[in-house]
Chain A
Amino acid sequence: MKYALFLGCTVPVRALNYEVSARKVAHKLNIEFVDINDFSCCGFPVKSVDRDTFLLMAAKNLSLAEEKGLDICSLCSACTSVLTEANKELKEDEYLRKRINKELSVLGRKYEGRIKVKHFARILYEDVGLDKIRENLRVDLSKFSFAAHYGCHYLKPSEIYEGFDDSENPKTLDELIELTGAKSVPYEDKKRCCGGGILGIDEMTALKVAKTKLDHVKSAGADAVCLICPFCSIMYEGSQKKMEREFEAEYNLPVLYYPQILGLALGIPQDELGFRMNRVKPREIIAQLS
């Protein structure tokens, strides 16, 4: 199993714990990642500004993976969504593909529409499979409970994801959590957006959107939030202190990336999973493990 690893903008600078743990987990499960240095921004921020430029940026990235004959594995849900969207349009609409390729020729590149784009969690669920992961489990996490946060772009817009999971009733992340023995706790408004999309537009509004979820997760008694998108983490973990100040609340709620949790269950040493880079330290979880 071999993929081009698409890091996007946020992961390689602001979510190193995600990247480190994802690479370790992939290695353990015999997934090979190929790094392509010329990958750049997926095009997501440009979609609001100029759709053609967004398609060109996506097409450029897609063409780099295609050139190597590889499908793309993305860690960021927003990157996954826009690359999948552009890929679908370019594959299905020959006229659009020709037009975009004509403009892409300024970079000496061309995209033929031959590859797939998948989120890492989807690859774990679909391509590796729950049974194969179970065979590799070494540490039982049954004393923990996590609140699955799906975020938005992992499953939406659903029309681009070929029927993978159900955006109104998602289950894949819950199942991925529960295979480690841990409990995936139900909580109110589970599908709520993190608010990250408007952090740069109106910080207070974005924080208010994020706060509601932390309130719900906290009252459900989860040991940590479990998520799969770097921007959701910026909201729930990176902005947690600020939310505590602004809204006079106390959360002290660890926010973990799914590969950090799976990594523990696979017996990968804690210090290789990037927990030191978590802003809200998962001290109790680590203490209970050792």
Chain B
Amino acid sequence: MSENEEKIIKVNELNPNFKYEIQKEAGGENITRCFACGTCSAACPVREVNERYNPRKIIRMALLGMRERVLSSDFIWFCSSCYTCYERCPQDVRITELMNAMKNIAVKEGYIHPSFVAQMEALNSHGRLYEIGEFDNKKRVKLGLPPIEETAEDTKKLFKQEGVDKLID
């Protein structure tokens, strides 16, 4: 097996319906408008410092139907949601939301990034990303700020109803 085996696109393994699956997800509607100009990758601050994240390449892979490779790879999680590409894309592909659409599909397929499991856990337990404990409230009161009583119940109920709780071990 050659060294390039991993990189070779095998046409018989492509899923031509992947792009339509993405189009059905909120935010992914415009994926087929992409004509691969690369404005997104040129504008991307993450791409500039880390070559693993390349929005043009990810969109191309998705359009080709490389479903498993796209969904299982951690690179879709590298979008920092800065919306620079979103603003500049000449085809209004709405790339930031497209990345979110692909992440949403990846989650349904069991590929949630571990850092998001941790965030969902925190939200489920505290209703916020950071716990507000007695220590924090003492500090707040000392500064003349109102204390905050944690209310996680609402978030817990919503997570349960929507099935987000199942993502937490």
Contact = CB atoms under 8 A, between A and B. Distances in A.
B154 interface: yes
Given A45-B129, A48-B103, A208 B145 contact: no
Interface in A11-29: 12-14, 16, 19-20, 23
Contact of A46 (B74, B120, B163): B120
A248 interface: no
Interface in A137-157: 152-153, 156-157
A217 B139 CA distance: 32
B21 interface: no
A279 to B, nearest CB: 15
Interface range on chain A (Cβ under 8 Å from partner): 35 or more
B80 interface: yes
B96 interface: yes
B145 A40 contact: no
A40 B159 contact: no
B158 A209 contact: no
Given A157-B96, A193-B45, A37 B151 contact: yes
A198 B155 contact: no
Interface stretch (A50-58, A177-185, A255-263, A281-289): A50-58
B115 A200 contact: yes
A197 B86 contact: no
A50 B157 contact: no
Which of A38, A49, A202 is packed against the most chain B CB atoms within 10 Å?
Answer: A49
Nearest to A45: B119
Given A38-B154, A46-B164, A157-B83, 8 more contacts: A7-B148, A13-B136, A48-B103, A50-B163, A51-B27, A106-B158, A152-B82, A198-B80
Interface of B: 25-27, 45-46, 48-50, 53, 74, 77-84, 86-87, 96, 100-101, 103-104, 107, 112-113, 115-116, 118-120, 123, 127-132, 136, 139-140, 143-146, 148-149, 151-152, 154-155, 157-159, 161-164, 167
21 contacts: A10-B129, A19-B145, A40-B151, A41-B123, A41-B128, A48-B100, A49-B104, A49-B164, A49-B167, A50-B107, A51-B104, A60-B158, A153-B81, A156-B87, A193-B80, A195-B80, A200-B118, A201-B77, A202-B50, A205-B46, A209-B49
